[in-house]
Structure 1
Amino acid sequence: MRITKKLIVAGIVSIAATGGAVYATAAYASEASEASESAVAAVAPKVTAEQAIGIALKQVPGSWVSELDFDSRGKQADTWELELTKGTERHEVDVDATSGKVTKAQVDQNDDDQNDDGDDGDDD
């Protein structure tokens, strides 16, 4: 009878240890899943690319988007960086990816045709 009690106690301890290991593995998997979900949520901007384009086009009516970049700035606010073209002007517009506010609006003359002095760079 002592052997039976020892086997029963050993079996219960073994099951408890196995159950604890399974629980620990399940808890770890759950935490890893939550961490990856929060990482994805942290990366996904509240303002979509389409919304950022709409905001920029309202800022510079009659223009077209020639470039769009998402800049994840770590501790600073993430930003959509857009380059728009309207005639000979190039507009750089930054849109806050969280609030949708324009944080930068800069105009540069498109100098591809502006400084044409007839010299194409060839030394003929």
Structure 2
Amino acid sequence: MTVQDDTTTETHGAVLTDAAASKAKALLEQEGRDDLALRIAVQPGGCAGLRYNLFFDDRTLDGDLTTDFGGVALTVDRMSAPYIQGATIDFVDTIEKQGFTIDNPNATGSCACGDSFN
């Protein structure tokens, strides 16, 4: 007799690097908030057709997929999940650039300014 475990957990497939998790956690601590998740959403817009929206959110939407990275909850709505499957969210702090970056293997192209993708 075999027993199957049907309690598989669906995940969004995005990864938050240690640097990004540390920066997000520091920003949350600076604000004195521990009730917010870092949400990434894909929305229509930009010259390439789709754009990322990365923000702290206190809402929980039906169908949200959430994964914890170093104490930071990364949340993706069910409609955005296929677009960010396998994406890596990093935080870069160099003399040339500072901020969160998204490396998405699903993006087939982006606009010249890098603000949107398709």
Tell me the TM-score normalized by structure 1.
0.25
Q: Greater relative contact order (Cα 8 A, min sep 6): structure 1 or 2?
A: 2
Judging by fraction of residues, say which structure has more helix: 1
Tell me the TM-score normalized by structure 2.
0.26
Judging by fraction of residues, say which structure has more strand: 2
